[in-house]
Structure 1
Amino acid sequence: MASIELSVEVARPSAESAALLEGAGYQLFRGPIGWRVVFVTSLIGTHSLRSHAHLVARELIVDFGLTALTEPPTVSLHDPDGDIDLKVASLVLEDARRASDPDPLQILSRRELRRVRQYGPK
């Protein structure tokens, strides 16, 4: 994974800022709450994606004279390669499987069964 797609929520940009954003290759969308700037950036490392995203978002806000709607800025991540999406999806599926199909009960030995009857569960 060498790049990540970011979406940053901002207040309505001025006409000048919007023109600068579009000229620099950023996409600008109007959302229900505010505006979104969407762009693809290269990653410094893969250990702290969220920290990297907030750093890039703050630089974008300062460089183009934008106003963030929240502090820290609201940032959405999307992996164009699908690596992050696959990992998250596998975790969600595993949780769903365990919720509807719990792991089998532990079979106790006679000694453990006697201890549970005598002293109760741990």
Structure 2
Amino acid sequence: MFEPFNMMMISFVTVILFSVITTVIFKITKELSSNSLKTAILSQAKVLELNRGFDRKGPGIRLFNKRPFAKCFALFELEGRELKEFLIPSKDYKYMSEGDEGNLLYSENNYINFSKKIKSHMYSKTTLK
């Protein structure tokens, strides 16, 4: 009496698993193909402005201490006086300051990396007699 029901459940579960696996494979191949078309751009840039905004909705809210997730933004001036604003990781935000110059690596509207130019100071040695 339960045999047809069991066979029907097994076939239903099989169809569901097959559709989930097919969807995951489709999304992965779509993501890989879209990433391969993006090219990274390296440009001389200057940090004009740093902002830290808070996102009070969505998955950024922490559950335990109920503090909102801080989003860090940086406005860069690229070669040719073009301005671009990026969402940057908080670890990079900590080491940036307004006026920093260096090489900015980005892809379309996605920040990848910023490496600062190190300013060296020449100190003259004086000898005391």
TM-score when scaled to structure 2? 0.23
Query: Which one has a bigger Cα radius of gyration?
Result: 2
TM-score when scaled to structure 1? 0.24
